[in-house]
Amino acid sequence: MIGLKRDQVASAKRIVVKVGSSSISGENSEQITPLVDALAEAYGRGTEVVLISSGAVATGMPFLQLDERPVDVATQQAAASVGQNVLIFRYQESLDRYEIAAGTVLLTEGDLLNEPHRSNTRRALNRLLDLRILPVVNENDTVAVYGLRFGSNDRLAALVATLISADLLIMLSDVDALYTKPPHLPGAEKLEVIAADDPLTDFEFSSSGATGVGTGGASTKVVAARLATNAGTAVLVTSTELATAALRGEQVGTWFEPVEGEAERALL
165 is in an annotated binding site: no
pLDDT digits (tens, 9 = 90+) for 181-230: 888 888 889 999 999 888 777 677 665 444 444 445 788 899 999 999 99
For position 31, which CATH number holds? 3.40.1160.10
264 lies in a domain?
no
pLDDT band at 151 (very low <50, low <70, confident <90, very high): low
262 lies in a domain?
no
Structural domain tally of the chain?
Answer: 1
54 is in an annotated binding site: yes
76 lies in a domain?
yes
Cβ–Cβ < 8 Å for 40, 95 = yes
The pLDDT value recorded for residue 266 is 42
120 is in an annotated binding site: no
pLDDT digits (tens, 9 = 90+) for 109-140: 889 989 999 999 999 999 999 999 999 999 99
pLDDT at 155 over 80: yes
266 lies in a domain?
no
How far apart CA 42 and CA 177 sit, in angstroms, is 21
Show the domain range for 57.
Answer: 6-256
How far apart CA 47 and CA 66 sit, in angstroms, is 39
268 lies in a domain?
no
pLDDT digits (tens, 9 = 90+) for 92-102: 999 999 999 99
3-class DSSP state of 191: strand
Cα of 113 vs its chain's centroid, Å: 18
This prediction's pTM: 0.91
261 lies in a domain?
no
pLDDT at 149 over 70: no
Q: Which residues contact 121 (CB under 8 A, 6 or more apart)?
A: 105, 107, 111, 112, 163
85 is in an annotated binding site: no
45 lies in a domain?
yes
153 is in an annotated binding site: yes
